[in-house]
Structure formats: structure tokens, C-alpha cells
Amino acid sequence: MAESAPTSAAPTDDINALAKGGRTNILGFLLRLAARLPFLFIAGRAYGPDIVGRYAIAVLVVEVAALLATLGLKRGLAQALASTERPHAHVVWDAVLVALIASAIASAVLIAFPQVMYPNSPVMGLERLVPLVVFAVAISDVTLAALAYRHNIRASVTARAIVEPWTISIAAWGFSFVSARDGLMYAYVLSMLAALVASVVPFVREYGVPRGWHPRVSDIVTLARRNAPLAGADAIEWGTRNVDRFILALLFSPAVVGIYYMAQQVASIPQRLKSSFDPILAPVVTHSLAENDRKSVAKQVRQVGFWIVSAQAACLVVFGIPAEGVMGLIGPEFVVGASAMCILLVAEVLASTGAVCETGLIYIARHRNLMISVAVLLLQIALSFAFVIFARKQGWSQPVQAAGPAAALALSLTISSAAKAIMLRRLLGASVVSIRASFFLAIGAAALVGAAFTSLPRHYEWAELSIGMPAILVTFLFVMIKFGFSDEDRALFRKAPSDEEPTLPVAEKL
């Protein structure tokens, strides 16, 4: 009996660690939301859909280049640290060097071919040099991943939820008085540099300047090669969420892309909550896999998946029911994007299970996971073109045509989510999905409250957003927490039983 105590306690420690990281990330999510919404308002009102569309495509290309430059280290670094005998400071600085080399290659390619960033408009001024931002994004991601391995999620919240969004919001407003054409790009560059500083400073404090470290070419090549499938999975997942924007840039004017981008930014708010869980979920999963405890991995994926699905469903009802009012806040030209935003919100809910399952698959079936992701991306691209062409042949309006890629995204993500959940369930021998009747009950109750507010007379439109949205959220959360949350779910809202932070055995190697 004495020997069984630690075994039974381990899952509780895992849930407490996930809950602690989850609480920090939810706080960061709320802070990021509070800063991101002003940016959308400023960008829409001060710059308009044309400039926003050019900005959206340029940022799309730069960020995918930065993602590739990390070579999967955002998620693979935890496994590299857990399985090495070398000083961890040496390993993380190897990772930084890998990201620097890859960033140099990626930025050089984009500087040589800048039209990739502006497929539907000419390259002007200093726009050719924007790819240099790849260095800042990639290094920031790697250093934050290294900090997350030591359960320092606060640095990620500070950099990504406070420094970056508030910098871009304030800078976008300030630069709007300087240049109505380039102000958004100036603000983006400044925000990425600020986030880099906010990431590197705590990284150096945590790991220090490595003593006796010399770049070892063989180790660096091995690290890059080992993480190549992860880099591919990251790029495919990111591409799945953003290729619709690039397709629109090929088929429509920058203004259409700008309207869609704003709808996408609102709809992707909950997806950022999922991605913020990755740094804390990865060390927990890799520890359980090292112990060959696959049941615990299934439980961890199931638990985090339920939290994220609940959060995404809350965003669906809060933003989706008063969709036209939300888009109207950004600017009157953006109201036509309300239908696309609703489709994208549904897509996020449908995709959440597969996105969380991927955190387990990348460690136990990374190549099969990559194959599914590639197949789904190709399906999405084909469906996007097919839906737009079909809508044009039917003579439907441009907003309906532009919603075609959103519909393709929702369908392809649903297929991907189902395939990855089934594969992970078979590999782990346990369920990885938690479906509860209370989830649908909460959505139904929130929808009734929302319908009451949207049916108010036109001169009460102000109440739809100022009172209706909080009422919808409170209704959803009340029903969900009251009837749908178990004791382990409620761990997300309370501190660990002891005053000490739950520590996983993997962290004891540090």
C-alpha cells in the first residue's frame, strides 16, 4: 500500500500542474483579449480594409517563415531537455542558435522574393525589409518554450498577452498620424521587438549565459533533424488556419482580405487559448510518456481538451450571436464579414479536439500525424477554391463568395479532429474526448439569452453588446460550471492543495 501512494498522487500532480498553467494562461488570454480588441478597432477605423488586407497577408507570410525557423522547437524542446544528460543551458542555447540560422535563411528568401508577402499589390518603401522580423518572432518562441519547461508561464503571458498586444495597439494608433499606409507595419515590427525583449530577459535570468558552451555542430544538426517532423506539423497546423487568407489574396482585392482578416482575428481568439496551453501540456505529456503511462496521457489530453472546448464554445455564443454588432464596432465596412466570423467560430470549436490530440500524437506518432495534417490541408485548399468558384458561377454576392474558404476550413478541421482523436485513442488505449450533455445545455441557454437581446428594437442596439454579451457569457459559464464541471475541472479555478507549486518529476532534472 505504501508503494501505491506516489502512483495515485502523480495524476493529481499532473492535473494541478495543468490547472496552474491553465489559470495563468486564462489570465493571459483575458489580458490579450483586452489589448487585442482595441487594436482591431484602431486598425479598422484608422486604416480601413485595404491597408488591413495588405498588412494581413504580409504578417501571414512572415509568421509562417518564423514558425518554420523554430524547427518545431516550440514543442520539441521539452522532449530534448527531458532526454539529455548535457547541461540544460547548453541545450537551450543550441536551440537558440538553430533558430538564428534558420531565421537568417528564411528572412533572406523573403527579402529576395518580397512579392510573396504582397501577392495582390506592389511592394513599396521599406516593405522589403519586413522579413527581418522573423528573427524576433522565432527567438522569442524558442526562449519562451525553454522557460515553459521550467514551468515559467508568466514570461509567456507577459510577452504575448501584455507587451506584444498593447504595444501594437498603442503603436498602431500613434503611427496612424504618421503614415496611413505604413503605420500598421511599423506597429507590428515594434510589437515583435518589444516581445523579443520581454522573452529574452527572463530567459537569460533563468538559464544564464552558458559557461563552457561551444556550438556542437553534430548536436545542432541532430536537434534540427529530430524536430523536423514537429516543424512540419506546426507549419501544417498553422497553414490550415491561415491558408484561407492567402487564397483570398489570390482571388480577391486587399479590401476583401482585410474584412475577412478582422473576422478571423475575432474568431481565432479562443484558438490562442489552446496554443497557450501547449507549453505547459508538453512537459506533462512527455513525462507521462517517459514513464510509459499512456492512461495518464489520455487523461491529460481529455482534461485540457474539455477546458478548451468549453472556452471556445463560450466565445462562439458571446461573439457569434451578436456578430453584426461586433463587426460593426470595428467599422461599418466590416459588417459584411459577420457570416464568415460565425463560420470561423464554429470551426474553432470543431477543431479543438484534434488540436489538443496533436500534442500527444507529435510524440508517439509524429509521422502519421503529419500525414493526416498534410491530407487535410490539401483537402481544405481544394474545397476553398471549389466553394468560391461554385459561388461565382451561381452569381452569389462577394461576401458569400469570400465565406467559401471559411466553410472549407470548418469542414476540413472537423475531419482532421475526428481522425486524430480516433488515432490517439487507439494508441493510448483510452478515450481522449470528453463529451457532456451540459455542454449543449449551456450553449442552448446562452443562445436563448442572446436571442432576447438581438430581438430588441433598433434604438436599443447599444444594449445588445454592452449588456447582452456579458449576459450571454454569464449564462453559459453558470450552466457549464454548475452542471458540467467535475472536481478536476474545478481545479482550474482554485490553487493547488498545498502552497507549493506542483512539481513534475521531469523538472527535477534541472
pLDDT digit string, tens, across residues 442-470: 999 999 999 998 888 877 777 888 899 99
Same domain assignment for residues 204 and 346: yes
Which positions ≥6 away from 387 have C-beta within 8 Å? 404, 405, 407, 408
In a domain, 204, yes or no: yes
Integer Cα distance of 238 and 343 in angstroms: 18
154 and 252 together in one domain: yes
Same domain (yes/no): 28, 137: yes
Q: Is the pLDDT of residue 315 over 50?
A: yes
The answer, yes or no, to whether residue 501 has pLDDT greater than 60, is no
Same domain, 150 and 275: yes
Instruction: Give the pLDDT confidence score for residue 6 in this predicted structure.
Output: 39
Structural domain includes residue 510:
no
Ranking 109-113, 160-164, 201-205, 489-493 by mean pLDDT, the lowest is 489-493
In a domain, 370, yes or no: yes
Q: Are residue 135 and residue 238 in the same domain, yes or no?
A: yes
- The pLDDT-based confidence of 503 (bands split at 50, 70, 90) is very low
Cell numbers linked to 405: 474558404
How many angstroms separate the CA atoms of 326 and 266, rounded? 9
> What pLDDT score was predicted for residue 32?
67
Torsion of CA 277, 283, 285, 286, to 10 degrees: 150
Same domain, 48 and 21: yes
Mean pLDDT of 98-115: 91
Q: Are residues 360 and 455 in the same domain?
A: no
> Which residue in the block uniquely carries the three cell numbers 476583401?
256
- Confidence category of residue 270, pLDDT binned at 50, 70, 90: low
pLDDT band at 373 (very low <50, low <70, confident <90, very high): confident
Q: Is 8 part of a structural domain of the chain? A: no
pLDDT recorded at residue 12: 54
Tell me the Cα Rg of the chain: 22
Q: According to the model, what pLDDT value does residue 265 have? A: 86
Q: What is the pTM of this model?
A: 0.78
Distance between CA 230 and CA 236 in Å, rounded? 10
Cell for 218? 553534430
Q: Is residue 165 within 8 Å of 192, Cβ to Cβ? A: no
Q: 117 near 57, Cβ under 8 Å?
A: yes
Taking 80 as the threshold, does the pLDDT of residue 57 lie above it?
yes
pLDDT, tens digit (0-9, with 9 covering 90-100), for 279-305: 667 777 777 777 878 888 888 888 888
At which residue does the C-alpha cell 491529460 appear?
300
Instruction: Give me the percent of the chain exceeding a pLDDT of 70.
Output: 83
Using alpha carbons, list the distances in angstroms from residue 500 to 78, 391, 497.
Answer: 22, 58, 8
Measured distance CA(322)–CA(341) in Å, rounded: 11
pLDDT, position 391 = 94
**What is the residue-averaged pLDDT of the chain?**
82
Separation between Cα atoms, residue 104 and residue 11, nearest integer Å: 42
Say if residue 432 is in the same domain as residue 444.
no
Shared domain check, 360 and 409:
yes
- The verdict on 371 and 473 lying in the same domain is no
Supply the DSSP string of 463-497, one letter for each residue.
HIIIIIHHHHHHHHHHHHHHHT--HHHHGGGS--S
Is 68 inside any structural domain? yes
Domain that holds residue 464: 437-483
Of 488, 469, 471, 481, the C-alpha closest to 438 is: 481
pLDDT digits (tens, 9 = 90+) for 482-498: 887 776 666 555 554 44
Residues 441 and 415 in one domain: no
Cell numbers for 208? 544564464
Lookup: cell for 294: 499512456
Which residue has cell 512572415?
A: 62
- Asked if the structure places residue 489 within a domain, the reply is yes
Average pLDDT value for residue range 317-326: 90
For the residues 260-273, what does the mean pLDDT come to?
78
- pLDDT class of 191 with cuts at 50, 70, 90: very high
- Is the domain of 279 the same as that of 146? yes
In a domain, 293, yes or no: yes
Most confident of 110-119, 184-193, 218-227, 362-371: 184-193
Task: State how far the Cα of 89 lies from the Cα of 34, in Å rounded to an integer.
Answer: 35
User: Does 268 or 507 have the greater pLDDT score?
Assistant: 268
> What are 153-166's pLDDT values in tens digits?
788 888 887 899 89
Mean pLDDT of 88-114: 89
For residues 307 and 378, which has the higher predicted lDDT (pLDDT)? 378
Separation of alpha carbons 463 and 103, rounded Å: 48
Q: What is the pLDDT of residues 132-184, one digit of tens each?
A: 999 999 999 999 988 888 878 788 888 887 899 899 999 999 999 988 888 99
At residue 106, the pLDDT reads: 93
- Residue type for position 255: A
Would you say residue 149 lies in a domain? yes
Average pLDDT of the residues in 118-133: 82
Overall domain count for the chain: 2
